[in-house]
Amino acid sequence: MAKPVDRVCLCWQRRGREKIDRQAIAVAMSVAMASPQPLLLRHLAKVAITFGIFLLLSPVSITSADDDISHHGSAPKSPSCDNTLRLVKVKIWVDGAESSVLGGLTARFGGSLPTEAKDGARFPAVFTNPSNCCSNSSSKLSGFIALSIRGDCDFMTKAEFAESGGAAGLLVINDGEELLEMSCREDHVSNITIPIVMISKSGGGAIEKFMTSSKKVELLLYSPNRPIVDFSVVFLWLMAVGTIVCASLWSEFTGSKKNDERYNELSPKESSNAGTVQDDAEDEVVDISAKSAIVFVISASTFLVLLYLFMSSWFVWLLIVLFCIGGIEGMHSCIVALILRKWRNSGDKKVNLPLLGEISVLSIVVLLFCLVFSIVWAAKRKESYSWVGQDILGVCLMITILQLARLPNIKVATVLLCCAFIYDIFWVFLSPLIFHDSVMIAVARGDNSGGESIPMLLRVPRTFDPWGGYDMIGFGDILFPGLLVSFAFRYDKANKKGVLNGYFLWLTIGYGFGLFFTYLGLYLMDGHGQPALLYLVPCTLGNYLYFRFAVILGAARRELKHLWNYGEESSQSKENAAEA
């Protein structure tokens, strides 16, 4: 009977392990699953692998949550039409009382705005007549901030008519919720001196609602500076690197020396039972094959396009449900493993349940806790503090996936990461040539998702940014390099390498630098979403198709051939022995 993981579109190749790896797996898995467990719960681990594949198919680019700006790289530019795009705060007063603050975006042309609210001036607001501001306005604009709807003529024409009428500024109300880059006409020199700002459709509707109630509405425009580095970036960097390190060392941390001693001192009868547990544990661990990488690119691209074309609130809800299922399994495995490491006998008490069979009380209690935790997160996912629960579920899930899915050698790592490298760059930078939009960034933003956001991200709020929002990193940006770093740790351990003459430390440092370069690129690109694997793969696997750390270091030590085909010889000999 085919196992659940065999029905996944990616092709996985099971391989044998050397004794030292099998022993570690047996101990770690028996601890994590509170062995013995019923078959149903053991197969939940495979559900985590399957869901992990869905995560690998999800957007993996770092982006900024609330910077919903549409860029047009082909927009005409000139020395008078090359202003830096800046986010704008629009403070509203209604009948003299401060009401609310809207967000906006400056144009490529026009005057500048103060960076502090105290340096700005309040002006009454008025709608132009006609409302599109494509001709001289019959309503008085002098000393007012004019409001115009988008459309019927270009942005410069609107600005020229508003300035000629004496307006102190122009707010262009978009026909959607995004903030569009407003640029000049081709081969045109801009002489506009008033500030031009675009606001969203809902923002314009809020101002119009106040004005139609015969209330006096006053506006103040200013554009505060953003910090070069926010604390959230540092915290996110620590979380990403820490997740990979924890996943690599997890079996060492949860498998205590006492458990290893007990494993070695088993009687022949107990040895037989232990072998069964060991085989079950080994069956839960899968090695990714080289063919999987090719299938991945096709599957991932198909899934991403489907998300882009059919994105809706129900589609995102489906992903949220899958995320909760995977998060429950990951959190359950991590908590049980940590508890049993401290109190080894706490999983001995068991009960018989219908359908489930014999199961430990500890596992039931932890499972219920994880279930409640994920339900509360899903119910409160739009609250300001929901990022904490999302990150906890995500980190636990990724640690579990990296225990179950493994790279057998550098050859497979090369194929997988190079394919992911091309996939990431194409869907961020090259997809606009086909779809007229960056598919990866559009999906990550949650366009047409009804206000819902995809949960397969670690995110941290920008603490010191006046605009708020979140810095985030996709699970794939951690899982892909994490597979390579985890392999390096297992290789170092199996070959008795020290910290400095091994590969684990240097690949971890490489990942940290790659993540740093990713955020540097994000800053230099004015917050435009970046394909993180563009920086992470060269810093871990190598410089594009050549290795910088793994291969150059391995070649220097004359270990490249061993790294390249590691595990294949032992696997082949075991298969021959089994056939004999």
State what percent of residues in the chain have pLDDT above 70.
72
| Residues 200, 178 contacting (CB under 8 angstroms) | yes
pLDDT of 1 above 50 = no
Mean pLDDT for the chain overall? 76
Give the pLDDT confidence of 196-221 residue by residue, as tens digits. 999 999 899 999 888 887 788 999 99
Q: What is the DSSP string of 432-496?
A: HHHHSS-HHHHHHHTTTSTT-----EEEEE-SS-TT--EEEEETHHHHHHHHHHHHHHHHHHHTT
Locate 512 and state its tokens.
């940290």
DSSP lists the bridge partners of residue 470 as: 461
Give the pLDDT confidence of 401-447 residue by residue, as tens digits. 998 888 888 888 888 888 888 888 888 888 888 888 888 877 877 66
Locate 256 and state its tokens.
């205590």
pLDDT of 239 above 90 = yes
pLDDT of 569 above 80 = no
Task: Give CA 245 to chain center in angstroms.
Answer: 18
Q: Can you give the pLDDT at residue 498?
A: 82
Give me the count of residues in the chain. 580
Task: Give CA 34 to chain center in angstroms.
Answer: 31
Where residue 57 falls among pLDDT bands split at 50, 70, 90? very low
Q: What is the DSSP string of 190-247?
A: ----S-EEEE-HHHHHHHHHHHTTT--EEEEEE-PPPPSS-HHHHHHHHHHHHHHHHH
Q: What is the DSSP string of 127-167?
A: E-SSTT-SS--SS--TTSEEEEES-SS-HHHHHHHHHHTT-
Establish whether 477 is a catalytic residue: yes
Query: Which residue type occupies 495?
Result: N
Task: Give CA 536 to chain center in angstroms.
Answer: 14
Where residue 70 falls among pLDDT bands split at 50, 70, 90? low
Locate 148 and state its tokens.
């115009």
| Residues 367, 332 contacting (CB under 8 angstroms) | yes
Average pLDDT over residues 124-151: 90
Q: Can you give the pLDDT at residue 176?
A: 83
Residue 559's SS3 state is: coil
- Cα→Cα distances 319→316, 423, 449, 455, 531, Å: 5, 21, 12, 7, 21
Where residue 252 falls among pLDDT bands split at 50, 70, 90? confident
Least confident of 35-49, 173-187, 348-362: 35-49
- Annotated active-site residue in 280, 465, 477, 492: 477
What is the phi/psi pair of residue 446, to 5°?
Answer: 80, 35
How far is the C-alpha of 168 from the C-alpha of 141, rounded, in Å? 8
- Annotated active-site residue in 424, 465, 471, 492: 424
Establish whether 6 is a catalytic residue: no
Q: Can you give the pLDDT at residue 450?
A: 65
Could you write out the three-class secondary structure of 390-431?
HHHHHHHHHHHHHHHEECCCHHHHHHHHHHHHHHHHHHHHHC
Residue 574's SS3 state is: helix
User: Roughly what angle, to the nearest 10 degrees, separates helices 231-254 and 386-404?
Assistant: 40
> Helix, strand, coil % (nearest 5) of the chain?
50, 15, 35
pLDDT of 488 above 60 = yes
Opening angle at CA 321, ends 316 and 322, nearest 5: 95
pLDDT of 18 above 50 = no
Q: Whole-prediction pTM value?
A: 0.76
557 secondary structure, DSSP code:
T
How far is the C-alpha of 46 from the C-alpha of 153, rounded, in Å? 57
How far is the C-alpha of 473 from the C-alpha of 313, rounded, in Å? 22
Task: Give CA 392 to chain center in angstroms.
Answer: 14
Q: Which residues fall within 8 angstroms of residue 429, CB to CB, at 6 or more apart?
A: 438, 531
pLDDT of 30 above 80 = no
Query: Which residue type occupies 540?
Result: T
Where residue 557 falls among pLDDT bands split at 50, 70, 90? low
Q: Can you give the pLDDT at residue 21?
A: 38
Q: Which residues fall within 8 angstroms of residue 561, CB to CB, at 6 or more apart?
A: none
